[in-house]
Amino acid sequence: MNNPQIRDYARALAGRLKPASDTSLADAVTEGYRITMGRKPGSTELENSVAFIKQQGDSYRTKNKANADELALADFCQAMFGLNEFIYVE
């Protein structure tokens, strides 16, 4: 899952999900679940995902990364690719 190609895919998906000024982070997460899992996230999944992205963004900002929010969203997308629900069809 740490293959550079997977990271490229995660950045590409993050580019699709990047919230516009009139879109919330929760809406971006919901769209990410729709694209990768074919469903909406549960309330706990949504809450945890938004918290994860915010925490990652804060961590990147601490390291003075100019694109902290984009990197954080790409981290979320990469994590989605690693979920069993994404990898295996039931």
| Domain-wise residue ranges, the chain | 4-87
User: What is the per-residue pLDDT across 33-87, written as a single tens digit (0 to 9) for each?
Assistant: 999 999 999 999 999 999 999 999 999 999 999 999 999 999 999 999 998 888 8
User: What is the per-residue pLDDT across 68-83, written as a single tens digit (0 to 9) for each?
Assistant: 999 999 999 999 999 8
Integer CA distances (angstroms), 4 to 7, 10, 28, in order: 5, 10, 23
Q: What is the per-residue pLDDT for 73?
A: 97
Supply the pTM of this predicted model: 0.91
Q: Pinpoint the alpha helices (H) of 1-90.
A: 4-17, 25-37, 43-62, 68-81, 84-87
